[in-house]
Amino acid sequence: MRRGPARPAGGRTAARSRAPAPARSPTAASAASGERLQKILARAGLTSRREAEEWIRAGRLTINGRPASLGARATAHDQVRLDGRLVRAQALPTIARAFLCHRSPGEALRAPDARPGTQARAPRAALTERLPTRAGRRFIPVSPMPRVDGGLELVSADGVLALQLQRAVHALRSEFGVRVRGELGPEQLTGIRGGTLDSGEQLAVERCEPAGGEGANRWYTLVARGASGKQVRQVFERCGALVSRVLRTRLGPVTLERALARGQFRELTSEELAALLAPVGRLDDE
């Protein structure tokens, strides 16, 4: 029986077996090399990571037209949309930035969020509304002082950086100026240095001493670790002091310099940010 010629090694059958694999979709590539969607939205200053997760569960976010799932990642080449509106890449800050602000007592730190169907208006522009728009659209305060008080405030439009700073504050030493009615007695000062809060916890007060004053008002300087303005006011009032003002003048390595007038702000340097974050370091990509 006559046989035909043998097929060459590079014939059609071999070519089929070596057909190129289909190209990976942008979404598949993003899953391996991109950044978590919650972190992207937080870094853009649009929301917190926790709220971003709620948006994902509610089906409000898509990546390249497909509903996003928890744990999804995206790159700069992907189209991320929130309620159908594109989250633009240029909205993402390339460098983590934070600002030191000198807030006047009673001044709003940021404008209230508007509810659906309403327009929230503040009596005057909030302090963060005067920050450069190129630095972000939604600034997140770090351990804000009560509205009635003021002084040094830290804000950032980078949600990840703001979270890092919020965690670091608990380990940082802060200084406050407290104005009270009349002069405090020795027993009151001893009680304040004890740092007892309404919850029974102890504020780590390092010192509390007179700082002058005129007329009926007296100023006291308090230094404590991990203290908020609300806690400082509470410690004084628990000891019978009539507090009229609490001003934060220092937070960790950052000081509210006299040259920075009320209502003004400046950007923190990379060295200042590194010193502020030293107690906790950088957070992992969770």
Q: Where are the domains of the chain?
A: 26-91, 99-169+262-277, 173-251
pLDDT, tens digit, 9 for 90 and up, residues 99-115:
999 999 999 887 765 44
The 8-class DSSP code of residue 118 comes to: -
The pLDDT of residue 186 is above 60: yes
Report the distance separating Cα 40 and Cα 180, nearest Å.
45
Q: How many residues are recorded in the chain? A: 286
Q: Please state which CATH class domain 26-91 belongs to.
A: alpha beta
With beta carbons less than 8 A apart as the criterion, state whether 253 and 173 touch: no
Q: Report the pLDDT value the prediction gives residue 23, as an integer from 0 to 100.
A: 41
The dotted CATH code for 99-169+262-277 is 3.30.70.580
Q: CATH number for the 173-251 domain, one of 3.30.2350.10, 1.10.287.130, 3.30.1330.90, 3.30.1330.30?
A: 3.30.2350.10
Q: Report the pLDDT value the prediction gives residue 91, as an integer from 0 to 100.
A: 44
What lies within 8 Å, CB to CB, of 149 at 6+ separation is 105, 229, 233, 245, 246, 247, 248
Among 215, 132, 209, CA closest to 178: 209
Across the range 148-174, mean pLDDT stands at 92
Residue with tokens 């509903």: 67
Q: Report the pLDDT value the prediction gives residue 88, as an integer from 0 to 100.
A: 63
pLDDT, tens digit, 9 for 90 and up, residues 232-265:
999 999 999 999 999 999 999 999 999 999 999 9
Tokens of 77: 């080449």
Q: Which of 10-24, 38-52, 63-77 has the lowest mean pLDDT?
A: 10-24
